[in-house]
Amino acid sequence: MRCATCGGETSPRVSDCPVCGTPVGAPAVHPEVPTRSVRGVGLAASVAVGATTLCYLLGSLTALVGRSLAERAARTEDQDTLLIAGFVELAASVPYLLVYLTAVVLVIVWTYRVRQNLDAFPGSAPGLGAGWAIGGWLIPLVNFVVPYRVVADVTRASVWRPGTGRLVGVWWAAWLVFLVSERWAERVSAREFERLPEYPTIRSEFLQYADQYSAALNRSILPMVEPP
């Protein structure tokens, strides 16, 4: 059995090629090009993305608490109760923001490392340089296309199987839908909040806050559907 990288003789009894150090059975790589482990950062990124999703869902449900508190404030005409609703919403947004930023950093690091590792694989021919694995996420408008292309290159050159390309496309489409719908929901909620009375004093004004929380909840569950 010969090494796929240097062509040296290998044995089933050893795990690495004695000439160039390539793991036996691994794809051919350039031994002079360093590679970096991506398993740890990939796992961390997956956990962070999952935690971000959970925090987002929990944060969306705070609208239920806000609506309940706003309705209670309407019954008692108590502005302090309405303030509590705002504090609950703020308290839920802080962990979401922290976990979200952590996930962003880890995903960018993972993307950069896996793209950089491609340079060690002869014949991989990625369409974009490793720097785009970072810049592609950060440059406005470019970040709608480039990260997908980088991940598609990595997938095609390393773990290509029938249907993998479609899976990457579904992943990227889901991210774009979330990104656009979340920005839309934030803008609509901000406009609605600006129209609310700053210091409600009567029941109907308090109920406007309850309606706003209900609308925000609907947009979180069905982000592309404007509630009636």
Tens digit of pLDDT for each residue in 8-18? 777 767 777 67
**Which amino acid does the sequence have at 68?**
S
pLDDT at 227: 37
**pLDDT value at residue 25:** 64
The H or E element spanning position 98 is helix 79-118
DSSP 137-182: HHSTTGGGTHHHHHHHHHHHHHS--TTHHHHHHHHHHHHHHHHHHH
Query: Tokens 């409600």 correspond to what residue?
Result: 200
In whole angstroms, what is the distance from residue 58 CA to residue 33 CA? 45
Q: Three-class SS of residue 76? A: helix
Spell 151-180 as b/e; 16+ CB within 10 A means b.
bbbbbbbeeeeeeeeeebeeebeeeeeeee
pTM across the whole model = 0.73
* Distance of alpha carbon 122 from alpha carbon 51, whole angstroms: 37
Task: Return phi, psi of residue 9, to 5°.
Answer: -70, 135
List, in order, residues 6 or more apart from 56 with CB less than 8 Å away: 96, 100
Per-residue pLDDT tens digits for 74-129: 777 777 777 777 788 788 889 999 999 999 999 999 999 999 888 887 666 778 88
Q: In the chain, which stretches have pLDDT less than 70? A: 1-7, 12, 17, 19-31, 122-124, 159-164, 199, 217-228
From the list 221, 141, 228, 220, the residue with the least C-alpha distance to 185 is: 220
d(Cα 159, Cα 154) in Å, to the nearest integer?
8
Per-residue confidence (pLDDT) for residue 221, from 0 to 100:
60
Amino acid 46: pLDDT: 94
Alpha-carbon torsion 8, 14, 20, 26, what sign? Answer: positive
Please give the mean pLDDT across all residues of the chain.
79
In sign, the C-alpha dihedral spanning 170, 174, 176, 180 is positive
> Rounded distance, CA 7 to CA 22, Å?
11
